[in-house]
Structure 1
Amino acid sequence: MAKLTQEEILAYLEEATILELNDLVKAIEDKFGVVAAAAVAGPAAGAPAADEGPSEVTVTLTDVGGTKVAVIKAVREITGLGLVDAKKMVDGVPAVIKENIAPEEAEQIKEKLMAAGATVTIK
């Protein structure tokens, strides 16, 4: 049997149907004694979920600081608002920037706003 190159394998995978790929995965599992399961990052089995913290948070702009223009630019970038709406939001502190988002996204938003000179809270 001729050895397949990596490019040939990738070309096959691009052309294969979902059913063909499913059969291939099953054949690999049987042949090599492995299980194709997606890696899931999370608590260990039996660990209480209460230790994780909230799954959704709200980012609130509490103070603009001395660089109002930079904060307006950051708010525009984060929210996708136009200049006028972003300025209204910044002028009306405290203002909710984003609600019901993942804590990781909230931390990224907080970093951007703090880099612009603003004060932010995450609840």
Structure 2
Amino acid sequence: MSNKINKIIEELKSLTLLEAAELVKQIEEVFDVDASITGGGGMVMMPSENNESNVTPVEEKTQFDIVLEEVSASKKIAILKVVRSITSLGLKEAKELVESAPKIVKEGTSKEEADEIKNKLEEAGAKVSIK
């Protein structure tokens, strides 16, 4: 080995475990490689798959469903009122929806509207999820 490589090896031997981990992380970032891939018992450095050319944009979800997960018996009337105002259902249909939880209250809403509906239902005492 060359003198330069020997010096680097000696420096590496003097590193603490934390310093060595930081060095590996820095090498991965600078050279765009993944040091966690191993083969044949030794460390193999392969180009990571985080190249900008390989990154496919993930489409952000734009439509959400509000699911009424759970209704406590003591809060049923308050929740029923909120469900009626959200869905424009009649009293009988809204009551059936509330009593058959878990059930979708509203489908295909925007994120803002879904959050608003969730807050209203939770204020009334319901357990709600957005999917």
Please give the TM-score of this superposition, normalised by the length of structure 2.
Answer: 0.54
Inter-CA distance 49–116: structure 2 relative to 1 (3 Å threshold): farther
Unaligned runs of 5+ residues in structure 1 are 1-47
Q: What SS does the corresponding residue of 1:67 show, helix, strand or coil?
A: helix
Distance across 2 between alignment mates of 1:91 and 1:57: 22
Paired residues in the alignment total 75
Q: Which amino acid aligns with 1:112?
A: K
Q: Which runs of no fewer than 5 residues in structure 2 stay unpaired?
A: 1-55
Give, as a single letter, the amino acid of the residue that structure 2 aligns with 1:69.
Answer: I
Query: Cα deviation per residue 1:19-49 (whole Å; 9 max; x = unaligned)?
Result: xxxxxxxxxxxxxxxxxxxxxxxxxxxxx86
Q: 2:88 aligns with which of 80, 94, 119?
A: 80
Q: Name the amino acid aligned to 2:117.
A: I
Inter-partner Cα distance in structure 1 for 2:127 and 2:79: 10
How far the C-alpha of 1:53 sits from its partner, in A, is 3.3
Q: TM-score scaled by structure 1?
A: 0.57
Quote the residue 1:108 is aligned against.
Answer: 116
Higher strand share: 2
1:98 aligns with 2:91: no
> Which residue number in structure 2 is paired with residue 63 of structure 1?
70
Partners of 1:113 and 1:49 lie apart in 2 by 34
SS at match of 1:107: helix
Across the aligned residues of Structure 1 and Structure 2, the Cα RMSD in angstroms comes to 1.5
Residue 106 of structure 2 aligns to a residue in which SS? strand
Higher relative CO (Cα under 8 Å, sequence separation at least 6) belongs to 1
Give, in whole Å, the separation in 2 of the partners of 1:59 and 1:49. 26
Which whole-Å CA distance do the structure 1 matches of 2:84 and 2:126 have between them?
14
